[in-house]
Structure 1
Amino acid sequence: MTVQRFCLALLLLLALPALALPPVLNIPKPQPDSQVAQDYYTQLLRLALVNGAAGRDIPELRETSVMEQGRAIYELNRGTSIDVYWMGTSTEREQKLRAIRIPVDRGLIGYRRFIIRADRHREFDAVKSGADLKRLLACQGLDWPDVDIMRAAALRVTEVAVLEGLYQQVVAKRCDYFPRGYYEALPELTQRKNSYPELIEHKTLVLHYPFAVYFFVGRDNEELAQWIEQGLEKMIEKGEFLAYMKNHPLTSHVFPLNKTLAPRHTIHIPNSFLPADTNYSNSRYWFQPSDFE
């Protein structure tokens, strides 16, 4: 092929309209009692698809099966049982998959509230530093990136495969605390108050590390990744993203961020598992510690 013909073919290719996505996108089913969180991510994904559509038909979202994060990485690249998954990021995950690098909760999940037994409230009142926290054992989910982050900071962690099991472990005193996302602890405890009346959310203690939940797609699914990314960017530009967080039942109860936890005590630890170019000081996408003051 001559240079002229190659250039002409390239121009014709670039002039073609964007390919349409399949009419249905597969997403995971929620774990038991996680419907509110499922609705948050699903509706945000749908809004991103609407905002980024640019005249294209918007695919239907179909729940397929419950799956843990480790399996989801494999299934996303297979592209048969799941097309989009939301989970905490890490360098390894961003190497294996195509991440849409806009935190779906503006990094709020990296501010961790402690679920503990009510009879241990005074013990946790006395926790003032990372050294104090190292004496205690945390429960975290199997394959969650939080496990590596906390262990790298010399915090003790045990892993549990099923979300419900994390609550059961705290009740049974097999671990001391379950550090849950800033907006997750209270509604989940409210939902389980009859099952676990022994559990409470500690009101003033927060563990913070830079962390983000992203939407992920298969490594080669660039069209879908760009569609979602462009939709989220438009939502941010119009103020719809933050408005969504302030109004959705999963996150609305924490706003304004500076309304509670006085006096608050925050223990900061690093997250060396984020890619080096993760700009978590960018307030367009991430909440900053000053937002809580």
Structure 2
Amino acid sequence: MLLAFSATAVIAVENTGASQIRVPKPRSVHDVSHQYYMELLHKALHKAAAGRPLPDILPVAEMEQGRAVRELQKGQIIDLFWMGTDRDKEQQLRAIRIPLERGLMGFRMLTIQRNQLEKFSQISNLQQLHKLTAYQGLSWPDTKILQQAGLKVLTSPVYENLFKQVNAGRCDYFPRGLHEGQTELRERAALYPGLMRYPDMMLHYPFAIYFFTGKQNEALAKWVEQGLQLMINDGELLKHMQQHPLTAHVFPLSQFTMAHWLELANPGLSPDTDYTDRRYWFVPADFTGSEFDKNLPAVQPEGQSPEQHHM
């Protein structure tokens, strides 16, 4: 039986272990990120369980982010979801302000058509990128970030359509988180052999994926928050990133010797965001080196105005 996560259901999660935490389903059969966040949620709950039985995590419905926000507020269909943060979401929902991938989502490489490689090799600044058109999800916070930087952006509410449109040449590029593009293209190699990740440019802006609940689910939010904090303190969150197929391939960070970075502002970043605590975030300086990579645990994978930064 599905439980609406009212106060009664929160008590059930804390005390009985019989209830469920309902989350959206994967965006498609190729959505490799869904399992990353599901596993991370399970680990956080387990880490801070303190004797409480663990609830089942149940994917119940596919939905884009705009609808997910509304459903979390109601608490009738889903109880928790992971989304890119912005001020609006943090006002409407209970944000668990711990970046789930140390801000990697704000390091964006471009998925493009292979036959456009020469065109992109001529771009060295943001003004030149203004001439091209990006494709993004309809309700994604980074859609606004790109638009506020003066970039042309088309949108779709359907995740898989984003790849289809780039492949069809109806837009020029699809910015993806540093950890996303390579894995996404590998999953879709048979469908879109003409797509590639452009290796010589990276967009960067402060950005994070958080877990969100409805404000009525404070007990659940605190449980997850405590678990994530414990995972950060003992290095388990970073270890999760190093081991999971979605993120393992980005380590060491010093492998990304891009010719240039394009820095974008994020006006939608909440003032409550602590971007100075290096336990939670990667920053561009980490990619130059070596100092951060030396301190990584030796784990092998299981399976501002716009400004140019030279590496």
TM beyond 0.5: yes
Answering whether residue 132 of structure 2 is matched by residue 132 of structure 1, we say no
CA contact (8 A) 1:281 1:288 kept: no
Answering whether residue 266 of structure 2 is matched by residue 271 of structure 1, we say yes
Alignment of 1:69-88 (within 5 A): 69-88=65-84
Partner in structure 1 of residue 166 of structure 2: 170
Report how far residue 205 of structure 1 moved: 0.7
2: CA distance, partners of 1:203 / 1:27: 34
Answering whether residue 40 of structure 2 is matched by residue 44 of structure 1, we say yes
2:211 to 211, 215, 235: 215
Please give the secondary structure, in 2, of the residue aligned with 1:124.
Answer: helix
Partner in structure 1 of residue 308 of structure 2: none
Please give the secondary structure, in 2, of the residue aligned with 1:270.
Answer: coil
1: CA distance, partners of 2:172 / 2:258: 22
CA contact (8 A) 1:50 1:231 kept: yes
Once the two structures are superposed, residues 187-211 of structure 1 have per-residue CA deviations (whole angstroms, 9 ceiling, x without a partner) of 1111111111111110121011111
Partner in structure 2 of residue 288 of structure 1: 283
2:91 to 70, 89, 95: 95
1:187 to 183, 187, 206: 183
Once the two structures are superposed, residues 221-250 of structure 1 have per-residue CA deviations (whole angstroms, 9 ceiling, x without a partner) of 111111000000000111111001000000
Per the alignment, do residues 263 and 75 of structure 1 end up closer, same or farther by CA in structure 2, a change over 3 Å counting? closer
1:237 to 206, 209, 233: 233
Partner in structure 2 of residue 206 of structure 1: 202
Partner in structure 2 of residue 11 of structure 1: none
2: CA distance, partners of 1:249 / 1:205: 23
Per the alignment, do residues 37 and 204 of structure 1 end up closer, same or farther by CA in structure 2, a change over 3 Å counting? same
2: CA distance, partners of 1:96 / 1:203: 37
Q: Tell me how large the CA RMSD over aligned residues is.
A: 1.3
Report how far residue 171 of structure 1 moved: 1.5
1: CA distance, partners of 2:206 / 2:127: 19
Amino acid at match of 2:145: I
1: CA distance, partners of 2:79 / 2:169: 38
Partner in structure 1 of residue 6 of structure 2: none
1: CA distance, partners of 2:74 / 2:258: 49
2: CA distance, partners of 1:35 / 1:147: 19
What 5-or-longer segments of structure 1 have no aligned partner? 1-17
Report how far residue 77 of structure 1 moved: 1.6
2: CA distance, partners of 1:263 / 1:74: 39
Report how far residue 277 of structure 1 moved: 2.5
Once the two structures are superposed, residues 132-152 of structure 1 have per-residue CA deviations (whole angstroms, 9 ceiling, x without a partner) of 111110000111111111111
Once the two structures are superposed, residues 140-180 of structure 1 have per-residue CA deviations (whole angstroms, 9 ceiling, x without a partner) of 01111111111111111010121111111112211100001
Report how far residue 31 of structure 1 moved: 1.4
Amino acid at match of 2:234: K
2: CA distance, partners of 1:161 / 1:29: 15
Answering whether residue 100 of structure 2 is matched by residue 104 of structure 1, we say yes
Partner in structure 2 of residue 152 of structure 1: 148
Paired-residue identity, %: 46
What 5-or-longer segments of structure 2 have no aligned partner? 1-12, 289-311
Please give the secondary structure, in 2, of the residue aligned with 1:26.
Answer: strand
